[in-house]
Chain A
Amino acid sequence: DQQVKQNSPSLSVQEGRISILNCDYTNSMFDYFLWYKKYPAEGPTFLISISSIKDKNEDGRFTVFLNKSAKHLSLHIVPSQPGDSAVYFCAASGDGTASKLTFGTGTRLQVTL
């Protein structure tokens, strides 16, 4: 039972445009959400997070939006850069911490010139 879903396995965006990566979850107990970026054969690196008491969190080019009623979150990257090309994972936690994260299957973002 996949509690965190990333339904788009891949996404291609032109440099300078906006990248929107989506994530849906089914467990209403999740209250903390994180996005990680991962290159092949490396560990994930943290990008941005959002608590369920917020609906938006911004950090530079990265913004995460949370729609609790729809159980949906999205990561916006603007402007997209070639170095953003990687696999992006969303993850969720049910206790507000980074403990016992449940991950989605990832979306591979390709930023083209």
Chain B
Amino acid sequence: DGGITQSPKYLFRKEGQNVTLSCEQNLNHDAMYWYRQDPGQGLRLIYYSQIVNDFQKGDIAEGYSVSREKKESFPLTVTSAQKNPTAFYLCASSLGQLMNTEAFFGQGTRLTVV
């Protein structure tokens, strides 16, 4: 079954700690993305990667870091510099620069800072 797997589903972090969210896809997609959803808001783009070993900041990249060492994997690290990290994080992938295609989303990781 092809898809996007995010883990863990729920994550708790103490203030001041870094935490890494996993995202793996077996759709052979070139592009991968990280979005954040807050209550009552839409999804906001954190980082995206169009190709292995390359990534760009999205609209709200401050306090986050990513890597794209493999096509299948795009982990997101929420650093202690992120001032309001509690949110629902969604990873997505797509066929990149192919026109009129959609992004496929994982099931999300809910991060809570305690």
In the bound complex, CA of A100 to CA of B45 (Å): 7
Q: Size of chain A's interface in residues, with CB distance under 8 A?
A: 28
- Please give, as numbers and ranges, the residues of chain A lying within 8 Å of B44 by CB-CB distance: 103
Inter-subunit contact A103/B96 (CB<8 Å): no
Inter-subunit contact A96/B99 (CB<8 Å): yes
Inter-subunit contact A99/B42 (CB<8 Å): no
Inter-subunit contact A43/B106 (CB<8 Å): yes
- Which of B45, B101, B108 lies in contact with A41, CB distance below 8 A? B108
- Which of B58, B99, B106, B107 lies in contact with A100, CB distance below 8 A? B58
Q: Tell yes or no: B21 within 8 A of A by CB.
A: no
In the bound complex, CA of A103 to CA of B90 (Å): 13
In the bound complex, CA of A98 to CA of B35 (Å): 13
- Please give, as numbers and ranges, the residues of chain A lying within 8 Å of B97 by CB-CB distance: 95, 97, 99
- Please give, as numbers and ranges, the residues of chain A lying within 8 Å of B110 by CB-CB distance: 41
Nearest opposing residue in chain B for A106, CB measure = B42
Which residues of A, 18-44, contact B by the 8 Å Cβ criterion?
32, 34, 36, 41-44
| Chain A 72-113 interface 0/1 with B at a Cβ cutoff of 8 Å (1 = within) | 000000000000000001010001111111111110000000
Which residues of A approach B to under 8 Å, CB–CB?
4, 6, 9, 32, 34, 36, 41-46, 49, 51, 89, 91, 95-106
Which residues of B approach A to under 8 Å, CB–CB?
4, 6, 31, 33, 35, 40-45, 48, 50, 58, 88, 90, 92, 94-108, 110
